[in-house]
Every structure is written in C-alpha cells, then in structure tokens.
Amino acid sequence: MTSHLLILSLFFLFIINTPIAVAIGAASIFTLLIQGDFSLMMVVQRMFSGTDSFHIMAVPLFMYAGVIMEKGGISGRLIDFANALTGWLPGGLAAVSIVSAMFFAGISGSAAADAAAVGAVLIPAMKRAGYPSDFAAAVQASGGSLGVVIPPSIPMIIFGFLTGASIGRLFAAGILPGLLIGISLITVSTFLSWKRGYAPSASFSLGRIWHTLTRAVLALGAPFIILGGILSGIFTATESAAVAVFYALFVSIFIYRQIRVRDILPIFRQASVTASVVMFIIATASVFSWIAAIEEIPDALAGSLLTLTDQPEILLLLVNLVLLAAGIFVETTAALILLVPMITAMVPTLGIDLIQLGVIVVANLAIGMLTPPMGICLIVSSSISGDSVGKVGLKVLPFLLILLIDLFIISFYPPLTLWMAGMVGN
C-alpha cells in the first residue's frame, strides 16, 4: 500500500506540473503521513544525509566553474578555435556549435551550462548567417547533451555516489563514447547543412588554426588539468572541481581580464541559484529513495523486468527503454536517484561492468535532455532562439536517431567504455 501511495502521488504531482523537487518531496511527506510509522523529522535527516557527501560537493563546484568560464571569456576563445577547425565544412557554424559544446563539456560537467554558454553566442550567429532559427536551436540542443557524457560529468558523479563506482573510472569511460557522439552529431549536422545549401563560415587555414589555438590554449588547459588530475590520481573529482573554480577565476581575472573583483559576487550568486535547484532535487530524492528502499520498490521493479526475460541482451534493451522513458518525463538528477538502485540490482543478470552501466545510464538520460517536456537542452536552446519547444523538437529528430544508434553501440560494445577505464586505478 505504501509503495502504491508513493508512486501514484508522485505521478499525480508530475501530471499537474509541480516542480520536480517539490513533487518528490511532497510525495514522500504525504506517504509518511499516511503510513504513520515515522516522524517527519526523518525527512529533514534524510535530506541532510543525502547531500552530506564529499562527492556531491563537486556538483555545485563544477557549476561555479562553468559560469565563471562563460563570463570570463573562456567560452568565446573555445568557439573561435572550433570555428577555425570546422568552419570550412558545409554549414560550418553548425559543426562549430557541436565542437564548441564538446570543448565546453570538458569543463562544465553540465548539459544546461553547455547549451547556455555556447548557444548564447552561436544561435544568434547562425541566425544572422541565414540558418533557420529552429535548426540552429536543434543543433545547439544536440551538442549541449554532450555536457553530461564527456567528463567531467555531474550525472556520473551522482552515479558514483549512489553506487560506489569509481568516479575517475567513470570519467575515463565517458571519453570515447563522448567523442563517438560528438563526431556523429557533426556528421549529421554537416550532411543536413550540405543538403540544404548552408555555406561554410570560414575557409581552411592552418595559420588561423594556430592563431586561435594560441589564444585558446589556457581555456583548453582547463579540461586537461581537471581530467589529468583525476585520471592520474593527483586529486579526486571533488578536488578537481575546486581546482577548476580556482583556475577559471585566475585565468578570467588576471590573464583574460574579463572579470573584475566586483563581478565575482554576482557570478557566484547566479551559480548558487542553479546549484541550489540541483541540490534540492538530490535532497528530496534522497527521502524518496529511502522510503522506496524500505518498501523494497527497486527490488520489486527489478524483479518485474527479470520475469520478462533471462536473456542479458534483451534485458539490457528493456533497461534502455526504461531509462529513455524516464528521461522524457523526469529531470536527470531525480531519474538517477530514483532508478539507479533498481538498475544496479540487475547488474549480475545483465552481466556487464558497473562502469559501463554508468555510461549507459548517463547516455540514456542525455538523450532525454533533447525530448519534451523535461528536455533541459531543448528548453534552453528554444529560449535563446525564441522558438517553441515543439518546433525545435521536430528539428531535433535526425539528431535523436543518430544518438539512439550511438547508444546501441555503447550498450553492446563494452571496449568502447572499458578500454580507457581500465587504465585508471582509482
């Protein structure tokens, strides 16, 4: 009875468009009140314990780093370098948008930050160059989804926190899938641009590539410092996030001189608002997960899937379908906390490594970021372009198709994720 109350009340609150964090928290409190076995003080205790983690500290820190780099001129230099690299392709700005998103993904760890930072520059530029507004937004939304696959990745940090998986190995495992997805998206955008006659944005020039590289070398240094430190074992993912914040501040204030000391407080305020939303979701979802664990909901759901088949390949397809459906309707952080316990209960039957499973989960939820109503990349890009989410969503369909093919490869070709993960000891 309790499990039914918990799930039905959550779905009801989602249907009436209650904010994610409020819906999860309200459903949990309502269930506890009806059940009557626990004091409401447990809600406060579980919310605190759900966020009282050294690993979770990396989430707001990477958000701070992303905002600082956006305001500090770092994203602009990355875009210039990306334009020199791929601007000569048909519809060069579309490819530039995705390459820039790949660069920024190596810094921010957040798809929303990726889509906003790059989209704020390139969507208006594409519109001025004659690209349809909805196509420009679709390209940027697709590229923004890379923000959670290419490390550092906030969803990977949360997955590691929930399962005990090595965050360093998860980051390493996401590198090749991220490159695969990025190259696939560039291929699709270039083909569509060629078919529709969109012109290159720049001519190929080794001199221009070298010039923009020298201007962007400090910006490109950030992902190397972050990933290099983690993969070499010099510092943890959380410590790397703090290093990223310090590095971004130092470069933006003292070298690029795009941020003044008096700008720091407003920047931190903006980042804090964004981070607080994510942390609130984590806190309330922790209460929900605690109740679900008591009622053995993850085991029951996992058992339901296991009764359908005992074939690992078919079961993995079903898991992917569940994750894709969740990504459509549930915000990424909430989906992770609600579903990961159920999915990890099936790891022995699935017969796959926990690290590979983490990348599969994140790749599924990245696709969910391109689908309404909860697709954050779609929402951010649409708001920048001024188009409706539905209109941009139609233009995203070709990109969704290639992402689904990539997801199939990630799911059924383990070396893509495990080869680099095997090089990391921590």
**Is the bond leading into 152 cis (omega within 30 degrees of zero)?**
yes
Same domain, 21 and 153: no
Q: How far is CA 420 from the centre of its chain?
A: 20
What pLDDT digit, counting tens, does each position of 318-339 carry?
888 888 887 776 777 778 877 8
First to last CA, the chain: 42
Same domain, 343 and 412: yes
Same domain, 207 and 182: yes
What pLDDT digit, counting tens, does each position of 139-149 carry?
998 988 888 89
Within-domain flag for 426? no
For the segment 61-85, the average pLDDT, to the nearest whole number, is 81
Within-domain flag for 272? yes
Strand segments, DSSP code E, in 153-265 are: none
For the segment 263-288, the average pLDDT, to the nearest whole number, is 81
* pLDDT value of position 415: 93
Res 50 pLDDT > 60: yes
Cβ count within 10 A of residue 55: 16
Same domain, 31 and 164: no
Integer Cα distance of 314 and 316 in angstroms = 5
If one compares 227 and 414, the residue with the highest pLDDT of the two is 414
What pLDDT digit, counting tens, does each position of 173-192 carry?
999 999 999 999 999 999 99
Nearest to 136 by CA among 369, 382, 375, 377: 382
- What confidence tier does 416 reach under pLDDT thresholds 50, 70, 90? very high
Number of residues written out for the chain: 426
- What confidence tier does 397 reach under pLDDT thresholds 50, 70, 90? very high
Same domain, 104 and 6: no
CA dihedral 320, 322, 328, 332 (to 10 degrees): -80
Same domain, 23 and 167: no
Same domain, 244 and 371: yes
What pLDDT digit, counting tens, does each position of 247-269 carry?
888 888 888 888 888 888 888 88
Strand segments, DSSP code E, in 86-125 are: none
Which of 23-32, 105-114, 335-344, 414-423 is predicted with the least confidence, judged by mean pLDDT?
Answer: 105-114
Report the domain count for the chain: 2
Nearest to 167 by CA among 326, 331, 359: 359
Res 298 pLDDT > 70: no
Same domain, 241 and 293: yes
* pLDDT value of position 1: 60
User: What is the DSSP code string of 379-424?
Assistant: HHHHHHHT--HHHHHHHHHHHHHHHHHHHHHHHH-THHHHHHHTT-
Within-domain flag for 138? yes
Same domain, 4 and 87: no
Which residue carries 């003044």 as its tokens? 260
Same domain, 60 and 25: no
Nearest to 70 by CA among 25, 135, 122: 122
Same domain, 291 and 247: yes
Domain span including residue 219: 55-421
